[in-house]
Amino acid sequence: MQLLNFFLSALKPNDRAALTANMSEVAIGAAQVLFETGDLVDTIYFPGSACISVVIVLSDGKTVETATVGRESVVSLIDAITDQPSRSRVFAQIGGSAMQMAASAFRGRLAESGDLLALTLLHARATAMQAEQGVACNAAHGVHGRLARWLLMTQDRVGTDSFPLTQDYMAVMTGVQRSTVSNMAGALKKAGVIDYSRGNLRIVDRKALLRHACECYAIVSDQFESLRPDGGQRPS
């Protein structure tokens, strides 16, 4: 099995053997819902090429994205290890591969392995930090910088320069109207930073996009990159 997921790659050999014995590979379809708010998180997912979105659903039906999870970490990790219902709607922003296992089996191994517990707590901390930084970012930074941050994060999670992404979903990512996102994305396209057509987006100039992004991108990204077994090297 190819360990595309960085959490799995960082496991000690004994933990990897114990966990992978209970895993299976799954293809997650685009827009496939993994958990609705209130669902029991009975399965834990380790994305490979899939990018999973975590959104808060407000009473008026509006959704705001609070986090994304890809190959750098684990889906619904905090809810899974605490055996609590999902606090959000969790679905595939971009379809792709993942490894899955029963959350109960993961908790069983967690009770036996200090190494696994330590790695899990570090990932839980990074996940919580992503949400906290997002709150600060939405309050302090403009749409332009936030959009660049989300695009870079999506690229990191899927590991490719091109991925399916509509302007409607960019509006969910940034929490603003579609017309605002359209103007911002259009400016980035005109500057040669990105290209998009028919629901597909390509990052043409990553270095330029980094210059457009707010400081929150590096803060969150560095947390996850530091957890990689090689110490992490963010693309420049």
| CATH assignment of the domain containing 189 | 1.10.10.10
| Claim to verify: residue 168 and residue 105 sit in the same structural domain | no
What type of residue sits at position 93?
Answer: Q
Residue 1, pLDDT score? 42
Q: Which of 101, 76, 72, 103 is nearest to 6 (CA)?
A: 72
Q: How far apart are CA 225 and CA 10, in angstroms?
A: 11
Residue 233, pLDDT score? 52
| Claim to verify: residue 107 and residue 192 sit in the same structural domain | no
If DSSP codes are grouped into helix, strand and coil, which group holds residue 134? helix
Residue 205, pLDDT score? 97
Residue 138, pLDDT score? 84
Structure tokens at 81: 């290890």
Determine, yes or no, domain membership for 228: no
Determine, yes or no, domain membership for 203: yes
| Claim to verify: residue 65 and residue 107 sit in the same structural domain | yes
Residue 168, pLDDT score? 87
DSSP per-residue string spanning 154-166: HHHHHTSSEEE--
Q: How far apart are CA 138 and CA 73, in angstroms?
A: 23
Domain that holds residue 21: 6-117
Determine, yes or no, domain membership for 136: no
Residue 108, pLDDT score? 97
Residues of the chain with pLDDT under 70: 1-3, 231-236
Determine, yes or no, domain membership for 17: yes
Residue 235, pLDDT score? 47
Q: How far apart are CA 203 and CA 160, in angstroms?
A: 9
Task: Report yes or no: 66 and 55 within 8 Å, Cβ to Cβ.
Answer: yes
Residue 64, pLDDT score? 82
Task: Report yes or no: 125 and 156 within 8 Å, Cβ to Cβ.
Answer: no
| Claim to verify: residue 44 and residue 110 sit in the same structural domain | yes
Residue 169, pLDDT score? 85
| Claim to verify: residue 20 and residue 99 sit in the same structural domain | yes
If DSSP codes are grouped into helix, strand and coil, which group holds residue 35? strand
Q: Which of 30, 49, 56 is nearest to 154 (CA)?
A: 49
Residue 167, pLDDT score? 86
Determine, yes or no, domain membership for 49: yes
| Claim to verify: residue 105 and residue 71 sit in the same structural domain | yes
| Claim to verify: residue 107 and residue 158 sit in the same structural domain | no
- Structural domains in the chain (count): 2
Structure tokens at 73: 């970490």
Determine, yes or no, domain membership for 85: yes
| Claim to verify: residue 97 and residue 12 sit in the same structural domain | yes
| Claim to verify: residue 104 and residue 10 sit in the same structural domain | yes
Q: Is residue 107 exposed (0-12), middle (13-18) or buried (19+ Cβ within 10 Å)?
A: middle
Determine, yes or no, domain membership for 235: no
